[in-house]
Amino acid sequence: MIKLTYLNGKEFAVNSDLIEFVESTPDTILTTTTGKKVVVSESMDELINKIIKFRRNISSINNAE
């Protein structure tokens, strides 16, 4: 799960595996595999970096076992 922020400042978490694609229009809109669209305050690059960081953390945990 990664933490993101709605435009109103409220935080929420999303399963990054359920993100199908991200658009920058200029707002950042993520679309889930179920078709739900969410507008977030993070930029596309910030969102991608959060996903990469999360997956690296998961990978390092699995490699330590």
Secondary structure (DSSP) of 1-65: -EEEEBTTS-EEEE-GGGEEEEEESSSEEEEETTS-EEEESS-HHHHHHHHHHHHHHHHHHHHH-
Full-model pTM: 0.85
pLDDT tens-place values along the chain, 65 residues long: 999 999 999 999 999 999 999 999 999 999 999 999 999 999 999 999 999 999 998 887 777 76
Taken in order 13, 51, 15, 26, the sign of the CA dihedral is positive
Contact 10, 4 (CB under 8 A): no
40 forms beta bridges with 6, 28
